[in-house]
Amino acid sequence: MGSALNIQISNRIRFSEYIRTVWRMRSLCWQLMMRGIQVRYKQKLIGIVWVVLEPIMTLLIFVVVFGILLGQADNTHGIPYPLFTFTALMAWQLFSTTISTVSSSILGNADLLTKLYFPRLILPMASSAASLVDFGIIFLLYILMALLYGLAPSWQMLFAIPLLLTSCGIGFGMGIIVASFNIRYRDFGHILPVILRLGIYATPIGWSTDIVPETVRKFTAINPITGLTEALRWSFFGTPFSTNALLLSIGVVLVVLPLGCWILISQEKNFADYI
């Protein structure tokens, strides 16, 4: 504010100007994030409980199905099975909540798109920020559980932060690609939950990659979250992980984040017309 605004209206996109506008309107991102968080806790007696309930239930299912029924509880390099699963689940949970909230963030605010201008990238940014706050609560729960199991803190655990951010970044990048295409063809919004439901079992969460035969292991490694779950376990427990799988995850985030932003920024001029 204060400085004279000079708005250019045309069919061309200027990326540098776009990024500057996003920065100038950062308070909108904050406001939208706050709205997302506030709404989640309105008219609910125990809002926080609902946030942690989903991962806890998922964890319980894993403990019962994989740990007890399928007997995976012993293939954990000696780590308590719930902790072993929860560690990997965090990477998956962050990825899947980010991709699903981000992918619906634009269509879900259709009323704003047709009435007002702001850089549309702010919408997925705000919704992923709101789900990061939820994740923070889940993370605290994890720390609590780790302490109860007597896990000693180490410097290696700090690697968890970039690993989790990578997981969030993959979800964000893929999410905005889905969100952009979903404006034109709503099919994309329907495919995503199916893929996520399959993905949670195709990712080494309740099981270790050691049980997978060498020939199949190449295929499990295609999943960009695989490398992150293993590396996350390494950072907490020092269990072995595949460098190639981790490099793949890093490669995916480096491709998918700029690609997603580019698709969204170059497509957003058409959003209001197609919605």
Q: What residues make contact with other proteins under the rule CB under 8 A?
A: 1, 4-11, 25, 27-28, 31-32, 34-35, 38-39, 42-43, 109, 111-118, 269-270, 272-273
Of the pair 108, 240, the CB lying nearest other proteins is at 108
Q: Provide, rounded to whole angstroms, the least separation between the CB of residue 186 and other proteins.
A: 14
Q: Provide, rounded to whole angstroms, the least separation between the CB of residue 110 and other proteins.
A: 11
187-to-54, 181, 190, 191 alpha-carbon distances in Å: 26, 9, 5, 6
Q: Long-range contacts made by residues 15-24, C-beta under 8 angstroms, separation at least 24?
A: 15/265, 18/119, 18/121, 18/265, 21/118, 21/119, 22/119, 22/121, 22/122, 22/125
Q: Provide, rounded to whole angstroms, the least separation between the CB of residue 13 and other proteins.
A: 9
Of the pair 12, 69, the CB lying nearest other proteins is at 12
Distance linking the first and last C-alpha atoms of the chain: 31
Find, among 138, 189, 146, the residue nearest to 164 by Cα. Answer: 138
Residue 22 CA to residue 97 CA, distance in Å, equals 23
Of the pair 9, 69, the CB lying nearest other proteins is at 9
Eight-class DSSP state of 108: G
Is the Cβ–Cβ distance between 235 and 159 less than 8 Å? yes
DSSP of 34-55: HHHHHHHHTT-TTHHHHHHHHH
Q: Provide, rounded to whole angstroms, the least separation between the CB of residue 267 and other proteins.
A: 11
Of the pair 114, 243, the CB lying nearest other proteins is at 114
Tokens coding 191: 């495919």
Q: Provide, rounded to whole angstroms, the least separation between the CB of residue 261 and other proteins.
A: 18
* Residue bearing tokens 């480096």: 254
Q: Provide, rounded to whole angstroms, the least separation between the CB of residue 130 and other proteins.
A: 13
Of the pair 37, 196, the CB lying nearest other proteins is at 37
Of the pair 25, 107, the CB lying nearest other proteins is at 25
Of the pair 5, 46, the CB lying nearest other proteins is at 5
Q: Which residues contact 142 (CB under 8 A, 6 or more apart)?
A: 86, 87, 90
Query: What SS3 class is residue 119?
Result: coil
Q: Provide, rounded to whole angstroms, the least separation between the CB of residue 121 and other proteins.
A: 14
